[in-house]
Chains A and B, each alone.
Chain A
Amino acid sequence: MRILLGLDGSENSLRAAEYAANLLEYFPDSTCTMVYVDTNTGNWQKAEIFEDVANDTVRESLERAQEVLNKRGLLYTTKVLYGTDIAGTLCRYAGEKHFDQIVLGTRGLSNIKGIVMGSVSHRVLQFAPCPVTFVK
């Protein structure tokens, strides 16, 4: 089973990492790819300090999740994608690389808040090519 773990550096995405780690342990033939969608790149491209800012945010977001899997001695690969539309970028990648499962942390916003704040999870649910697990 090929698992895509979507990360954003939040507490919820750490819980999602725990969940992915469980899956990895239950399924002997599974692989995990951590994906972080970098939305800053587009906004920052013109700034001088772009490299520093972008790299720091990406590294921080990934590091904590990597720690979760490292602690349990599990293997994974890491992938940073660039795009403004997090859900679209994730789903397209999952489709292209034929992932079997997406695991995502979610803030669990209500319907109205979700619309106003542009809920990533709602959009992933709509466009996902495979089963999606949301972890709160």
Chain B
Amino acid sequence: MKILVAIDGSENSLRAVRYAVKTAAHFPGSRFTLVYVDTMSVQLKVKGGGTPPNFEELVNEGRKASLEGAEKIFFDSQVPYTIKVLEGYDIAETICDFAREYNYDQIIMGTRGLGNLKGIVLGSVSHKVISIAPCPVTFVK
């Protein structure tokens, strides 16, 4: 069973990671991929006039901060995992496209549990993932 754990470094996404190692590890033959969608690098690139001189630094810092906590949880519980950093502007679409392309059986992600209205205003990733996901999705609050 191929499991995609989407992370963004927030407290909620760390809860999703803990849920993943605790619960989903029981799934037979489970293989984990930690996926982080890097929206910053795309935004920096499209600003025009080439990338800023400290581009690498900016991007790497963002990635490191987001992955660090999640990696530690996996490392501590001795569950093998792979990491994938995706570049994209739309987080939900990027995650779901990746899951579809590589035939993942399950997506696990954290959610802030925003209301309907707030969800629209703040651009709810989870609502969008529900509507376009190719496989079952588990949300952890």
User: Which residues of A approach B to under 8 Å, CB–CB?
Assistant: 1, 19, 26-27, 101, 106, 108-111, 114-115, 119, 121-123, 125-128, 130-136
Contact = CB atoms under 8 A, between A and B. Distances in A.
A12 to B, nearest CB: 11
A129 to B, nearest CB: 8
A110 B137 CA distance: 15
25 contacts: A26-B27, A27-B26, A108-B133, A110-B131, A111-B119, A111-B120, A111-B124, A111-B127, A115-B116, A121-B130, A122-B130, A123-B116, A125-B126, A125-B130, A126-B113, A126-B116, A128-B139, A128-B141, A130-B141, A131-B23, A131-B140, A134-B137, A134-B139, A135-B136, A136-B134
B10 to A, nearest CB: 16
Contacts, number: 71
Interface of B: 19, 23, 26-28, 111, 113-116, 119-120, 124, 126-128, 130-141
A136 B136 CA distance: 6
Contacts of A110: 131
Contacts of B113: 125-128
A27 B28 CA distance: 10
Contacts of A121: 130
A133 B136 contact: yes
B120 to A, nearest CB: 7
Contact of A134 (B114, B116, B124, B130): B130
Contact of B137 (A115, A119, A126, A133): A133
Given A126-B115, A128-B141, A135-B136, A115 B120 contact: yes
A1 B19 CA distance: 12
B120 A26 contact: no
A101 to B, nearest CB: 8
